[in-house]
């Protein structure tokens, strides 16, 4: 087997030598942007749903805004990280299988992921069922805890929406069929704004109206994606419901769990930054300034996450196809392109300093604090232009468990302790905390660069091929789930 792959790789080099570097670069860049642009638009749209809801809730009342913000930041982001991380395992499997032309297995993997993530969502349900007592335990007032409980109950529907949303996105992206996701996301934003206005402003339904609009906003694109997948949009990869979805679930569970841990460790890292800042002197100003900076960072992060999705698909496809050379070239182009964009934004925010703060606040004390943090915001944006793309490479290759260990070491053994020392011992405040955590991100980025550079990509081709062959079945032998089976 290894001999055949080596011959194949030798053939690749011969073919590659006949193509000029300029043509290769242009071809890869087109493939990258075809994948990255819809992914960016989708993530901006999803991020925008939370912002739109927050804006309308803010006009209902300050207590409602505080309750929604707390439940979103602590509970929903926690669940979002786990579910999105677990769904990235599907990106690994679908990307490599599509590259290996095992098209019929993509539908099976999609169904297996639905089962695994549904079980995971059951374990997350208590967070949203018992939101009120949990908020009280965390020291929130009775009014915030009560309204937070109402928000939590509405978000149960959103939790289950994550299952369909994230998995269908990974499934479609692996086939470069993600324009449908973009169209649905754009329509959803318009509908969400209209419904939010109708239910909260015109009919004054309060927090219930805002949350009802949010539920619709998450399920409308899900229904559209399911219709597209099952009604002819993916004829080669969707062969109907299959009994194979209930077989060989354990490998999917392991890969999904490692994927969930990998992404959650990154999301919790920034949540920890906000929580630590709450214990600093003059914490109200510090939190206001930090929140605005992180919101700006979050919008820019959508660009990097788009390249993360593109890198994952390109690397997975090329490994499944058996092309180590093309996989390495995809990594270089993805990282370099994202870095160039990040560097331009780095210079922009470095020189803009606190002037951008006036868009969000008129409080001069907060503006000064943001100006003081602007250099760290610029550095964060620069690091975020590389680190997520390398995480996407890890997803495409199936290294989620390795990256999870790297994240633990760099974030929680290096970043947070250094941030605590700088912030509290050296009395540098929020700037010291953020500096320490950025150092952790820098170390993580260097570690991922080294891992990616040192990797034997010919071996990764063999691993990917073995994974595809081990889990694949002949399309003709695949048992279908019929109506009589269900009854």
Give the pair of three-digit tokens for residue 315. 């690397």
Q: In this prediction, what percent of the chain has a pLDDT beyond 90?
A: 47
Residue 487 lies in a domain: no
**Roughly how many angstroms between the first and final C-alpha of the chain, as a whole number?**
45
Residue 486 lies in a domain: no
Would you state the pLDDT for residue 314?
93
- In this structure, of 174-183, 212-221, 325-334, the range with the lowest mean pLDDT score is 174-183
Residue 309 lies in a domain: yes
**Nearest to 188, CA basis, from 215, 155, 228, 153:** 215
Would you state the pLDDT for residue 43?
83
- For residue range 182-207, what is the model confidence (pLDDT) as tens digits? 899 899 999 999 999 999 999 999 99
CB 258 within 8 A of CB 400: yes
Number of residues assigned to the chain: 487
- For residue range 241-250, what is the model confidence (pLDDT) as tens digits? 988 888 878 8
CB 316 within 8 A of CB 174: yes
Per DSSP, the residues of 357-383 read GGGT---HHHHHHHHHHHHHHHHHHHH
Residue 14 lies in a domain: yes
Can you tell me the distance from the alpha carbon of 309 to that of 105, in angstroms, rounded to the nearest whole number? 20
82-92 burial string, b = 16+ CB within 10 Å, else e?
A: bbbbbbbbbbb
**Rg (alpha carbons) of the chain, rounded to whole number:** 23
- What's the whole-number mean pLDDT along residues 113-136? 94
**Nearest to 84, CA basis, from 162, 184, 201:** 162
Residues 6+ apart with CB under 8 A from 399: 451
Residue 11 has pLDDT above 70, yes or no: no
Residue 485 lies in a domain: no
Would you state the pLDDT for residue 485?
46
What values do phi and psi take at 242, rounded to 5? -130, 145
Give the pair of three-digit tokens for residue 408. 């633990």
Residue 67 lies in a domain: yes
Would you state the pLDDT for residue 270?
73
Per DSSP, the residues of 299-342 read HHHHHHHHHHHHHHHHHHHHHHHT-HHHHHHHHHHHHHHHHHHH
Would you state the pLDDT for residue 147?
93
Residue 423 lies in a domain: yes
The rounded mean pLDDT for the chain is 85
- In this structure, of 3-12, 364-373, 380-389, the range with the lowest mean pLDDT score is 3-12
- What's the whole-number mean pLDDT along residues 401-409? 88
- What's the whole-number mean pLDDT along residues 51-72? 85
- In this structure, of 23-37, 259-273, 369-383, 419-433, the range with the lowest mean pLDDT score is 259-273
Place 350 in a pLDDT band, splitting at 50, 70 and 90. Answer: confident
The count of domains in the chain is 1
Per DSSP, the residues of 167-190 read HHHHHHHTTT--HHHHHHHHHHHH
Q: Which of 230 and 78 is assigned the larger pLDDT? A: 230
- For residue range 436-467, what is the model confidence (pLDDT) as tens digits? 989 999 999 999 999 999 999 999 999 988 88
Can you tell me the distance from the alpha carbon of 237 to that of 234, in angstroms, rounded to the nearest whole number? 6
- In this structure, of 125-139, 329-343, 358-372, the range with the lowest mean pLDDT score is 358-372
Residue 157 lies in a domain: yes
Would you state the pLDDT for residue 337?
94
Place 282 in a pLDDT band, splitting at 50, 70 and 90. Answer: low
What values do phi and psi take at 175, rounded to 5? -105, 5
State pTM to two decimals: 0.84
Residue 287 has pLDDT above 80, yes or no: no
Would you state the pLDDT for residue 369?
83
Q: Which range marks the domain in which residue 89 is found?
A: 2-480
Would you state the pLDDT for residue 62?
79
- In this structure, of 30-39, 73-82, 331-340, the range with the lowest mean pLDDT score is 73-82
- In this structure, of 53-57, 284-288, 483-487, the range with the lowest mean pLDDT score is 483-487
């Amino acid at each position: 087997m290894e001999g055949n792959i080596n011959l194949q790789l030798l053939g690749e080099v011969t073919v590659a030598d006949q193509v000029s570097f300029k043509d290769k670069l242009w071809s890869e860049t087109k493939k990258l942007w075809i994948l990255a642009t819809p992914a960016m638009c989708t993530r901006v749209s999803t991020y925008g749903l939370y912002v739109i809801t927050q804006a309308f809730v803010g006009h209902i009342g300050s207590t409602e805004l505080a309750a929604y913000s707390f439940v979103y930041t602590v509970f929903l982001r926690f669940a979002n990280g786990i579910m999105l991380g677990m769904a990235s395992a599907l990106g690994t499997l679908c990307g490599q299988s599509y590259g290996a032309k095992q098209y019929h297995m993509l539908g099976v993997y999609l169904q297996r992921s639905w089962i695994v993530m549904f079980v995971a969502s059951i374990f997350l349900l208590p967070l949203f069922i018992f939101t009120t007592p949990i908020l009280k335990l965390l020291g929130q007032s009775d009014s915030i805890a009560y309204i937070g409980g109402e928000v939590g109950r509405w978000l149960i529907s959103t939790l289950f929406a994550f299952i369909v949303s994230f998995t269908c996105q990974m499934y479609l992206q692996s086939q470069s069929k993600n324009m449908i996701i973009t169209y649905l996301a754009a329509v959803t934003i318009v509908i969400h704004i209209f419904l939010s206005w109708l239910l909260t402003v015109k009919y004054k339904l309060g927090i219930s109206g805002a949350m009802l609009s949010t539920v619709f906003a998450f399920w409308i694109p899900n229904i559209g994606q399911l219709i597209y997948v099952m009604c002819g949009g993916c004829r080669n990869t969707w062969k109907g419901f299959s009994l194979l979805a209930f077989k060989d679930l354990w490998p999917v569970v392991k890969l999904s769990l490692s994927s969930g841990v990998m992404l959650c460790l990154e999301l919790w890292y920034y949540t920890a930054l906000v929580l630590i800042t709450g214990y600093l002197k003059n914490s109200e100003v510090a939190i206001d300034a930090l929140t605005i900076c992180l919101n700006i960072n979050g919008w820019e992060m959508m660009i990097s996450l788009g390249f993360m999705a593109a890198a994952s698909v390109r690397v997975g496809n090329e490994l499944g196809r058996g092309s180590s050379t093309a996989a390495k070239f995809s990594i270089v182009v993805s990282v370099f392109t994202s870095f160039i964009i990040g560097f331009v934004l780095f210079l922009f925010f470095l020189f803009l300093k606190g002037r951008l703060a006036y868009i969000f606040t008129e409080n001069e004390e907060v503006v000064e604090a943001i100006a003081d943090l602007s250099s760290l915001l610029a550095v964060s944006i620069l690091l975020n232009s590389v680190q997520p793309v390398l995480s996407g490479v890890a997803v495409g290759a199936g290294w989620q468990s390795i990256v999870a260990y790297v994240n633990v070491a760099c974030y929680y053994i290096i970043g947070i302790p250094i941030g605590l020392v700088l912030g509290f011992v050296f009395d540098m405040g929020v700037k010291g905390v953020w500096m320490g955590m950025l150092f952790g991100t820098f170390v993580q980025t260097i570690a991922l660069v080294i891992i990616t550079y040192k990797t034997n990509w010919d071996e990764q081709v063999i691993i990917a091929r073995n994974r595809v062959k081990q889990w694949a079945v002949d399309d003709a032998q695949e048992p279908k789930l019929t109506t009589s089976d269900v009854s």
